[in-house]
Structures are given as C-alpha cells and as structure tokens.
Structure 1
Amino acid sequence: MTSPYAQAGFGAGFDWGPVGAEVVAGDIVAVVDVLSFTTSVTVAADRGIDVYPYRWRDETAVAYAQEYGATLAVGRSAAGPGDVSLSPASIRGVTGITKLVLPSPNGSTIAKQLSDSGATVIAVSLRNRQAAADWVSRQRSAGGRVVAIAAGERWPDGSLRPAVEDLWGAGGFLSALRRDDLSPEAQAAVAAYEATKDELPKYLHECAGGRELTAYGFAADVDVAAEVDQSEVVPVLVDGRLFRST
C-alpha cells in the first residue's frame, strides 16, 4: 500500500529534511537550503566551481576531497582570510579553485543521500528559483513528478527545526513552476512564499535563521541569500557533483 505521507497522485510535492526526501519521492528533486548550502552552491556554480556534497567535515571528508582533487570547505566560524566555507560570501570571494567539497548536516546531507536514488537532483535557492523552474519545465516534456525538499535546520538535540526561509525558497520554486497539480503541502509552501515575496530581504534578515547568522557576524550571507532570481544557473547532481547547467 502506498504510504499516506507520499503525496501520491500529485505532480508536484513538498516535504522536509532527509526523511521527507525518502518518503516523498520524485523524478526531479529540488533540494532547498536557503541560508546555507544551496545558496552557496548557486554562488559556486556562477563562478564555475563544481560542488561535491558531503555529510560531515571529518577524516572521511578529507579523504573524499583528496580523491577528487577538490578543496575541502572549513567550518563557517573557523574560516580565515582566503578560506572557503559554507558561507556563500566566502565562496564569492575565493580564487583559484574549481572543485569544492561542501559538507553540511542539512542540504548537503540530503543531496548526498539522494545521489543514488535515481532521481534528478538540483540545488535550488531564492537566487535561482525561477531559472530552476524554467529548467524543470524543459525537462518534463515526457512527464514526471517534481518534489521540493526544504532542508531545515537542527535543534541542539539533533531533531529537525523547520526553517521558514527554506519554506519560502521551496514555495518560490514551486510557484514558478505554474502548475495546477500541486499537493496540499506544496500549495501551502507556495502560499507562504506568495505572502512574503514582496519583502523577502527584510523577512530573511528578521527570521530566526537570519538573526542567528547576523549575530555570528554573517549578515552578508543573508544578503546573498536574498538575491531573488539573480542567478541563471541550475546546479545538477551527476556522479556525486553539482555542476552548472543553464
């Protein structure tokens, strides 16, 4: 019997986190992590840098980066001048790299998890939500199901913290698809985006995630995340790497 949580019967769905990504499967899955991973990926793709998702920055990540001849991102708070991290502003300023292993427990983990699922996986943020929707529409001439997965964040106990910025990002992407076969969950995400789209930069700075980044000195990352529709790239996951597609 089909799971009642799978949003079966709808052409476009929406859910949260790694578990939602497993339950609500799609032919095309858009991973959305607005204040961290997918915004960083779009900035990297704008600069011609391929991104290799990874779950954690540990010894295995070091070996993984060496295997592909890639630079391993440092922790956001550990980055010094010239270092690259999960901060999109740091990626925008880095020079001399073409491959980047970018670990994170949320968006990057979900992308890595989906790499062997058989789905086409793309990285979506507010920066490229329209470009991604246009790209998906071009891929769907033979039909197929589209799912947006909001990465969310983590509470100190490791449980999922639904992050409203990822709801807005997923809703913005689903809204741009202009489809009438959205699941109720996807419709709710669209409604959240439509209610805030005219003042998104303000809301991104005022939401919990934006306030957290600002408090830790990363307000510039919120500014980059708020560049709605400023990127035309669509990073697509193939053979473990997210690379630029237009």
Structure 2
Amino acid sequence: MLGDIDWSRQGLWGVRLEWGLAGARALGPDSACIVVVDVLSFTTSVTVAVDAGTQVVPYRWRDDTAAEFAAKHGAELAVGRRAVSAEQPWSLSPAALRRAPVAARLVLSSPNGSAISAAVSGVPVVAACFRNSTAVARWISRRGWGTSERPISVVAAGEHWPGQNILRPAVEDWLGCGAVVSALADCGAGPLSPEAFAAKACHDGVDDIPSLISNCASGRELTSGGFAEDVVIATELDASGVVPTLVDGAFIDTGR
C-alpha cells in the first residue's frame, strides 16, 4: 500500500498535495481532511448544485449500474453532457445544472473527482474549485486543521487520456489546488509541503486565471465540443461560499 511508504505521506507538512485516486489513498489515512479538486468539471458542478440546495451523491461508474444506484439513494441521475434531455436535464455540465430544475438529490458520476470522493473513507472529504477556494480554506482554518499535527491533503483529480486508464495531469486542477493552498496559507495554515508550495507558486504567478484555463488542453476540449460556458463557470473566482462536505454519502453545504 502506498500509504505504508513513509516518503509518500508528506508527513512533515501541514498542507500536502497529491494527484489522483492513488494519491488520495496515500495521504488520506493521516489527514484531518481531504480536499478534492476537479475543476473541469466535477467539483465545479458540485458547487453549482449545492449552491442551489441540491445534495450531490458521488458515484465512480458511468455505466448501467448508475441508474440503479441513483434509485437506491432516492436521487436523480446526471447523464453525460450530450445525453441531456427534457426527461434527464442534469449532467456533469455546470451550465446544464444551472438550467435544470433543482433536484433534492443528484448522483454525479465521473472517473476522476467523483471516483476519488467516493473511494475515500474515514476522513472528511470536501469538494473545492476556483469558485469556492477561499470559503473552503476559511472553513478548514476555523477547525484548526492544516497544521503538522492535523494536516490536510489537497488532491488534484486530473483527467484520463481518451480510451486509456492513464492519469493525465491537468493544469486546471494543479492551479485549482494552488488556489486552495494559497487561501490556506493566507489563513495561517502550514507548513506547506514542497508539492503544495509549488502549486501555490504557480497559482500566485498567473495574472489571468480565466484566460489560462480557457486555453489549456481541457478548456479547449470543452470549448471545441460546444461547452465553453462550462469553462466560464469554472473560472468564476470565489463566486461561491459553499463548502460541500461528504455527509452520509452526499455532498452538503457545511460552510454556513
């Protein structure tokens, strides 16, 4: 197990950072809290849904089992971006969620942020992105987390190469993690691991986050597919005060 390898746990630091499901599993057991960042688009979609009062249930698999899972949990099911219809208006698209009727509970499945959120156990899990990075940092700070004694771990979800189960490090998630780490540092959290420090430095050195995200590979992928509005919503910097936290299997706002 990666978590059993001492160097993998970044154990000296109060704010740590890793990539993907393996990174979450490596850092999670020693953490006071795990912050998942999947900017395009799981955690952005979570903030949009929770802003509207929806409880979001993460699910790893986007297959035939998802409908059964949603029914079991008394939730609507979000479909793929291109599968939206009048009968199923919810999807992983933040723009589609804004247009759709507000659901009481919604299952959001994705192989990235949702998979990480659903797989972590025994540790509070928070969904963060550019829209709520400051709110999340302040919530963590109020609990006295983000210290060497009570470290928090920020996890960049990343993407997968098309048709391959191979992690593609994504600049939007790296910078989204940097936004969270920067806000945590402003609240006095630390010390920062080298990984967290590097993400913060990258974030703080970018003058125009929205432009960079819209022109990165993932942003161009969504725009070329007709979903440019999703990228715009994902770069609404600190537009939301929600702190979506997994409680009994669903993300709800614990920040207010």
TM-score bin, normalised by smaller chain: over 0.9
Name 2:179's counterpart in structure 1. 172
Find the aligned partners of 1:24 and 1:189 in 2 and give their Cα distance.
Answer: 17
Name 1:113's counterpart in structure 2. 119
Name 2:96's counterpart in structure 1. 90
Name 1:5's counterpart in structure 2. 8
> TM-score, normalized by length of structure 2?
0.91
Asked whether the 8 Å contact 2:36–2:156 carries over to 1, the reply is yes
Query: Does the alignment pair 1:22 with 2:18?
Result: no
- Could you list the per-position Cα deviations for residues 93-138 of structure 1 after superposition, in whole angstroms to 9, with x for gaps in the alignment? 1114110000000000000001x2x111000010000000000001
Find the aligned partners of 1:235 and 1:96 in 2 and give their Cα distance.
Answer: 16
Find the aligned partners of 2:102 and 2:9 in 1 and give their Cα distance.
Answer: 43
Q: % of aligned pairs identical?
A: 48
Name 2:160's counterpart in structure 1. 154
Find the aligned partners of 1:133 and 1:74 in 2 and give their Cα distance.
Answer: 31
- 1:204 aligned partner, one-letter code: I
Query: Does the alignment pair 1:138 with 2:142?
Result: yes
Query: Does the alignment pair 1:206 with 2:210?
Result: no
Query: Does the alignment pair 1:192 with 2:195?
Result: no
Find the aligned partners of 1:66 and 1:78 in 2 and give their Cα distance.
Answer: 19
| DSSP-derived class of the 1:126 partner | coil
- 1:175 aligned partner, one-letter code: S
- 1:102 aligned partner, one-letter code: L
Once the two structures are TM-superposed, the CA of residue 195 in structure 1 deviates from its matched residue by 1.4
Which 5+ residue runs of structure 1 have no aligned equivalent? none
Find the aligned partners of 1:140 and 1:105 in 2 and give their Cα distance.
Answer: 32
**Poorly superposed stretches of 4+, deviation over 4 Å:** none
Once the two structures are TM-superposed, the CA of residue 184 in structure 1 deviates from its matched residue by 0.4
Q: What is the root-mean-square deviation in Å for CA atoms of aligned residues?
A: 1.4
Find the aligned partners of 1:148 and 1:124 in 2 and give their Cα distance.
Answer: 9
- 2:165 aligned partner, one-letter code: G
Find the aligned partners of 1:110 and 1:8 in 2 and give their Cα distance.
Answer: 21
Q: Which deviates more, 16-25 or 98-107?
A: 16-25
Asked whether the 8 Å contact 2:133–2:238 carries over to 1, the reply is yes
Find the aligned partners of 1:75 and 1:2 in 2 and give their Cα distance.
Answer: 38
Once the two structures are TM-superposed, the CA of residue 80 in structure 1 deviates from its matched residue by 3.0
| DSSP-derived class of the 2:191 partner | coil
Q: Relative to structure 1, is the Cα distance of residues 30 and 162 closer, same or farther in structure 2, using a 3 angstrom cutoff?
A: same
Once the two structures are TM-superposed, the CA of residue 63 in structure 1 deviates from its matched residue by 1.3
Once the two structures are TM-superposed, the CA of residue 3 in structure 1 deviates from its matched residue by 2.2
Which 5+ residue runs of structure 2 have no aligned equivalent? none
Q: 1:56 aligns with which of 61, 67, 70?
A: 61
Query: Does the alignment pair 1:227 with 2:232?
Result: no
Find the aligned partners of 1:5 and 1:69 in 2 and give their Cα distance.
Answer: 39
Q: Relative to structure 1, is the Cα distance of residues 107 and 14 closer, same or farther in structure 2, using a 3 angstrom cutoff?
A: same
Asked whether the 8 Å contact 2:52–2:102 carries over to 1, the reply is no
